[in-house]
Amino acid sequence: AQSVAQPEDQVNVAEGNPLTVKCTYSVSGNPYLFWYVQYPNRGLQFLLKYITGDNLVKGSYGFEAEFNKSQTSFHLKKPSALVSDSALYFCAVRDIDDYKLSFGAGTTVTVRA
Amino acid sequence: ETGVTQTPRHLVMGMTNKKSLKCEQHLGHNAMYWYKQSAKKPLELMFVYSLEERVENNSVPSRFSPECPNSSHLFLHLHTLQPEDSALYLCASSQVKGTGDPYEQYFGPGTRLTVT
């Protein structure tokens, strides 16, 4: 079985400050990990993924995520948040032996000007 | 959006109606998915088609009936729905060669369904 937890329903930051969205996962084998973003009235947009190799993964719009196997975490980060980053963020996990994605409940990010 | 399109974007239907949701992917993928998104809940995977065969049906009520006539099109036929079925229905596609492939899924904009 695989699952994802996003412990924060909401994250609020000021524009220009660092942004972190937390994610922890559980899989029986090795994971593939993904971050998606959803803007109002839109579908999910792929941001980045971890497959193997470097623990720090860089993605779209200046986002990056750090894979930590010992803590089973895959936190999303952005050094300097923009108001336009305000959206709903989803973490997802796949066991490499499965094709199904399991999503977290999502974290609403609000960046204030 | 040209990757994965969904129609209609909004749908209001009564409990006795029959309607269909349509999804089309223009990415050359060979797998398609239906998800249900309800507020404050994780996305629920409903159905998966790989190479036009249904490979997943997550205990979805029979009032939801999927159809995948080819690798580019996916339908969700709806009949005698309940108010709790009101949600955003998302279609996604991906490339699948084997279970070990790390391909991400690409999503359509969704259909906002309201059952009255």
**Is residue B115 over pLDDT 70?**
yes
The confidence score (pLDDT) of residue B96 equals 79
For residues A16-34, average pLDDT: 94
Q: Which residues of A touch B110 (CB under 8 A)?
A: 42-43
What are residue A38's DSSP bridge partners?
A44, A88
Contact B42 A105 (CB under 8 A): yes
Q: Which residue has the higher pLDDT, A31 or B97?
A: A31
For residues A52-79, average pLDDT: 94
Contact A97 B99 (CB under 8 A): yes
The confidence score (pLDDT) of residue A41 equals 80
The confidence score (pLDDT) of residue B19 equals 95
**Is residue B100 over pLDDT 70?**
no
Contact A105 B41 (CB under 8 A): yes
The confidence score (pLDDT) of residue B2 equals 72
- How far B102 CA sits from the closest chain A CA (Å)? 7
User: Searching chain B, which residue's CA lies closest to the CA of residue A90?
Assistant: B42
**Is residue A98 over pLDDT 80?**
no
Alpha carbon distance, N-terminus to C-terminus of chain A: 41
Query: Taking the C-alpha atoms of A5, B110, A44 and A110 in order, what is their torsion angle to the nearest 10 degrees?
Result: -80
Chain B CB within 8 Å of residue A5 CB? no
pLDDT band at A47 (very low <50, low <70, confident <90, very high): very high
A19-21 and A24-26 as β-strands: parallel, antiparallel, unpaired? unpaired
The confidence score (pLDDT) of residue B18 equals 93
Contact A100 B45 (CB under 8 A): yes
Q: Can you say whether the dihedral through the CA atoms of B26, B27, B30, B35 is positive or negative?
A: negative
pLDDT band at A100 (very low <50, low <70, confident <90, very high): confident
Contact A105 B40 (CB under 8 A): yes
Could you tell me how many residues make up chain A?
113
Which amino acid is present at A51?
Answer: I
Q: Which residues of A touch B100 (CB under 8 A)?
A: 96-97
The confidence score (pLDDT) of residue B65 equals 94
User: Searching chain A, which residue's CA lies closest to the CA of residue B112?
Assistant: A41
Chain B CB within 8 Å of residue A103 CB? yes
pLDDT digits (tens, 9 = 90+) for B46-99: 999 987 777 777 789 999 999 999 999 999 999 999 999 999 999 999 987 765
For chain A, counts of helices (H) and of strands (E): 0, 12
The confidence score (pLDDT) of residue B42 equals 84
